[in-house]
Amino acid sequence: MKAARIIFAGSPAFATPTLQMLCDRGHRPVAVLTQPDRPAGRGRHLSSSPVKQLALELDIPVLQPATLKTEATQAELRALEPDLLVVVAYGLLLPPAVLGIPPRGCVNLHASILPRWRGAAPIQAAILAGDRETGVSIMAMEAGLDTGAVYDCARLAIDAQETAGELEQRLATLGAATLSALLDGLLAGSLQAEPQAAEGISHAGRISKADARIDWRQSADRIARQIRAYNPWPVAETTLGGQQLRCFAARLGSSAKTGDAQPVPGRILAAGSEGISVQTGEGILDLLTVQLPGKQKLAAADLARSRTLAGTVLGA
């Protein structure tokens, strides 16, 4: 029997466990598709995606087209004669001409329980919305954005203090295991995908740095979720005395800390060994881990020891 020919398409670290799983299962991809190298860091040096780095370690040919819409790229993919195309957070749309190349189709590992949180940032959206559980879906790809029929889902609970980065790692592991269990059936063409429900559809658009700016008029609970959702990127932020203050960790504070007759959102009520307590539009938020420009992350309590903060209004 001819060995299966798989093309793997993915870019971030979230996709690497699935690429490794394919190799461990004896289905080493004939090629890996990943995003082009891009400038990163303070020096703006070209940086390769985590998937490219792993593919090179595994000695798998890497393709990095800027688009899949050109005939030249499509011809290159057809020449590889793939049986199946596996996609995990690739970052480029697959046009119908590409979707039609593999006889076993194109399957996508998506980090939500579809149809909830279709789109680019389902992990962040789930935390921001206060969802208590999420998971992964393995779906048959079609032209619509995350609209394809689903082969299987796996669920997990979202921990109360979990950041997007921590949840992403757990979902990446879960996704690889879920796809592994389906792989033989996908290659044999023996699995039947079920259409997504028509109810409960929600969308998670791309995140920008502007989304991470804290509006202290929001509730403490909502801001705490924002801080967790945008850790490790783009990191929730406010200003302190005109300087950017990045916020990596926080918890709901005690309402007993407020002494304002007319609470001012963003006002620091107390700063000490327990952190920096901030008035919000509803409730108190204790900042626990912060960062000033050009400095290392530090405990908010350490920042409180270095300057007088009580009475200062963040974001002013």
Residue 44 has pLDDT above 80, yes or no: no
Least confident of 3-12, 39-48, 289-298: 39-48
Nearest to 136 by CA among 147, 124, 150: 150
d(CA 290, CA 296) in angstroms, rounded, equals 9
d(CA 120, CA 199) in angstroms, rounded, equals 20
Query: What residues are paired with 198 via a beta bridge?
Result: none
> In the prediction, which pLDDT does 201 show?
97
Contacts for 217 with CB less than 8 Å, ≥ 6 apart: 265, 280, 281
163 burial type by CB count under 10 A (0-12 exposed, 13-18 middle, 19+ buried): buried
0.75 surpassed by pTM: yes
Asked whether 34 and 49 are in contact (CB, 8 A), the reply is yes
Tracing tokens 């680019």 back to the chain, one arrives at 120
Q: Which two tokens stand for residue 277?
A: 């307590």
Tracing tokens 């400095």 back to the chain, one arrives at 295
> In the prediction, which pLDDT does 303 show?
96
Query: What residues are paired with 108 via a beta bridge?
Result: 87, 139
Residue 256 has pLDDT above 80, yes or no: no
* Average pLDDT value over all residues in the chain: 95
The pLDDT tens digits of the residues spanning 211-238 come to 999 999 999 999 999 999 999 999 999 9
> In the prediction, which pLDDT does 2 show?
67
Angle at 253 between CA 252 and CA 256, to 5 degrees: 145
Give me the mean pLDDT over the 182-192 stretch. 97
Question: What type of residue sits at position 89?
Answer: A
Contacts for 172 with CB less than 8 Å, ≥ 6 apart: 13, 14, 15, 16, 17, 18
> In the prediction, which pLDDT does 258 show?
54
Phi, psi for 75 (deg, rounded to 5): -65, -40
298 burial type by CB count under 10 A (0-12 exposed, 13-18 middle, 19+ buried): middle
d(CA 36, CA 71) in angstroms, rounded, equals 18
H-helix or E-strand containing 289?
strand 284-291
Asked whether 147 and 226 are in contact (CB, 8 A), the reply is no
> In the prediction, which pLDDT does 39 show?
84
Give me the mean pLDDT over the 161-179 stretch. 98
d(CA 158, CA 135) in angstroms, rounded, equals 9
Domains by residue range for the chain, with CATH: 6-204 (3.40.50.170), 209-306 (3.10.25.10)
| pLDDT-based confidence at residue 261 (cuts at 50, 70, 90) | low
> In the prediction, which pLDDT does 262 show?
80
d(CA 104, CA 100) in angstroms, rounded, equals 9
**DSSP code per residue over 40-102:** ETTTTEEE--HHHHHHHHTT--EE--S-S-SHHHHHHHHHT--SEEEEES--S---HHHHTSS
d(CA 243, CA 130) in angstroms, rounded, equals 30
| pLDDT-based confidence at residue 257 (cuts at 50, 70, 90) | low
Residue 232: strand, helix, or coil: coil
Return the sign of the alpha-carbon dihedral for residues 186, 64, 94, 103. Answer: negative
Question: What type of residue sits at position 100?
Answer: G
